[in-house]
Amino acid sequence: MEVRVSNVRKEFDGFAALKDVSLDIRSGELIALLGPSGSGKTTLLRLIAGLEMPSQGKIFFGDMDASEKTVQERNIGFVFQHYALFRHMTILENISFGLKVRPRARRPAAGEIRRRAMELLDLVQLSGLEKRYPNQLSGGQRQRVALARALAIEPGVLLLDEPFGALDAQVRRELRRWLREMHDRTGHTTVFVTHDQEEALELSDRLCVMSQGAIEQVGTPDDVYDRPASPFVFGFIGESSELPVTVGNGELLVEGRSIGVPVPAARPGPARLFFRPHDVDLVEGDATLAGAVHTSRRVGGTRRVELDLGPANHRVEIDLPFDHPAGERSQLSFRPRRWQLFPAS
Amino acid sequence: MASSRHSPVSERLGVRIALILISVAFMALFLLLPLVAVFSEAFRSGFGAYLAGLNTPDAQAAIRLTLLVAAIAVPLNVVFGICASWAIAKFEFKGKAFLITLIDLPFSVSPVISGLVYVLLFGGGSVLGPWLKANGVEVLFAVPGIVLATIFVTFPFVARELIPLMQDQGTNDEEAALSLGANGWQTFWRVTLPNIKWGLLYGVLLCNARAMGEFGAVAVVSGKIRGQTTTIPLQVEMFYNEYNATAAFALASLLAMLALVTLVLKTVLEWRFGDEIAASGH
Ligand SMILES: Nc1ncnc2c1ncn2[C@@H]1O[C@H](COP(=O)(O)OP(=O)(O)OP(=O)(O)O)[C@@H](O)[C@H]1O
Ligand SMILES: [Mg+2]
């Protein structure tokens, strides 16, 4: 099912948690909402679910305007960050809940409900635990029960709020892979919220980066990583270094000196240069960025060097192979290999 | 040094023993002794006299009335209490803090005043009283007045118990149920109520004990018409004033037993479902 969020605004007591947000979610895709705390991810997810109503704007499910529909009518599966399993029901009862509360005309027979629930339990790899209660399961198992429960009603859209937020790194990685496989198998249109960029980059078909109640960029993980649309996205996704520069004579100048990066198309004047620490070449010579090594630390397979550039001591980070001889030096010169220019704010 | 391993608040052995002895003696004197006295007084003239005391028409009427009042007041307070705590715990609205304070009112005001309020509201000098009387409804010095006064005094028990519990549980479970397609009613019966059932039972227990035992507020509105508007506590006083000690204590022993049963159930609930009960302030 396609979901279209169209110019949605959401206010809480006059505070705009979402400002004019539009997002097209394609049928069958796995899309991540990524952003810092308070950026409005949960609010957007709850609006899609119908757990909140927009102050302005509309939400479409396919061609149907769902804006006025209740959460029950929208037929969504929602997985809460803290699972929200019904603690007085067994796992099997939890999973069957959505089918049991259906009006009689649409309710499957008891045996059929049980069969479907057991099938789902098998799908989430928890067969044999149907008689347990939620507090007798581990966090990762609870999360999978929550997912099975949401899937039981055959939702048109699956909405997950920080599904792995409360789990440790190991379990997270496992469940992440598992969720991806699940999605490939069942093909549900899925929206999940996360503030873990690694999770978003690895798991999603597309990701939607949010900041302060607005969408900054929507695109494939490669798009967002390689071609960030704004300084915020550049800084938020992956490692980044920033440097104030001036564009003049079709070149980048730092404090009046050329750094050997031609920019024929850029508008002259002050700008902000962004590059990834690992996207740099060490070079010798005049037209480079040269600086004094402030710290040099080995991080796994690379060496992370903090450099103070020029008289104004702009601090930037660059990565070298950990065994590169330049790692011992106190002065380094480099040139960004890939970079992006944004207008000065 | 051994003493350094003691917690800083621990006292020396002698002091501790003294404190414990004082507490135990105090409780025995003021709590246990009266309880024993009630039962020994009740059975002083033998079991036959005890039964006879309970078997008088007045005592029977008082027991019936007390049960009736509790049977009306407790369920109503359960419904009110659930509604109020639901509203307070699950919605945001203006005047919420005021509502919470208001719920506590019956706890902070003397029961006599609570009774007097109803006298003012429904008495001969009021607007409502004569109109109701003209339409054949007696409130004051009749069962409805007793029920109203009892509801008023016992209102906080259920609500006070449920508000912190529901606030603590939040709305996630309800939202999950709704998202799974349950309607409001199903959500309440299948999710909310099971989540609060032990807390609710605890509140009902306390509410019931108070409803059956209330004296002050009921005394003001009852008019003490023998066999008609006397609840057990009022009847106990009447018997006593008439020097009918055996009957008085026989009836009183019923209330004492109710207290004991309540205490036991309360303890069991606290012990077994402590984390599902917001027990503290009572
Ligand atoms: N019910 C509410 N009442 C008032 N303000 C709210 C409410 N829900 C959210 N907000 C506000 O809206 C903003 C966005 O909140 P939201 O929960 O969507 O953020 P988030 O991106 O999910 O953050 P996190 O990563 O911390 O979960 C926050 O500033 C928050 O304080
Ligand atoms: Mg959130």
Q: ipTM of the assembly?
A: 0.86
Checking if the pLDDT of A342 tops 50, the result is: yes
For chain A, the average pLDDT equals 91
Q: Which regions of chain A does DSSP assign to beta strands (E)?
A: 3-12, 15-25, 30-34, 56-61, 64-65, 76-79, 157-161, 189-194, 206-211, 214-219, 241-248, 251-254, 257-262, 269-275, 280-282, 289-299, 302-309, 314-321, 331-336, 339-343
Using the beta-carbon criterion (under 8 Å), do B173 and A153 form an inter-chain contact? no
pLDDT of residue B6: 62
B190 contact residues in A (CB cutoff 8 A): 86, 97, 101
Q: Which of A45, A48, A71 best tests the B interface by mutation, with the highest count of B CBs <10 A? A: A71
Ligand 2 centroid to Cα of residue A145, in Å, is 21
Pocket of ligand 1 contains residue A19 by CB under 6 Å: no
pLDDT of residue A195: 85
Chains A and B form CB pairs within 8 A to the count of 59
Distance from CA of A42 to the nearest CA of B (A): 13
pLDDT of residue B257: 92
pLDDT of residue B12: 80
What DSSP designation does A127 have? Answer: T
Distance from CA of B176 to the nearest CA of A (A): 7
pLDDT of residue B124: 80
Distance from CA of A8 to the nearest CA of B (A): 21
Q: Tens of pLDDT along A182-202? A: 899 888 999 999 988 889 999
Low-confidence ranges of chain B (pLDDT < 70): 1-11, 278-282
Of B223 and A231, the one with more pLDDT? A231
Q: What is the mean pLDDT of residues A273-281?
A: 92
DSSP characters over A269-321: EEEEEEE-TTSEEE--SSSSEEEEEEEEEEETTEEEEEEEETTTTEEEEEEEE
Note the pTM of the prediction, 2 decimals. Answer: 0.83
Cα separation of the two ends of chain A: 40
pLDDT of residue B1: 45
Checking if the pLDDT of A230 tops 70, the result is: yes
Checking if the pLDDT of A218 tops 80, the result is: yes
Of B8 and A262, the one with more pLDDT? A262
Ligand 1 centroid to Cα of residue A41, in Å, is 8
pLDDT of residue B282: 38
Q: What sign does the CA torsion over A99, A103, A105, A110 have?
A: positive
B199 to each of A252, A290, B274, how far by Cα in Å?
70, 69, 9
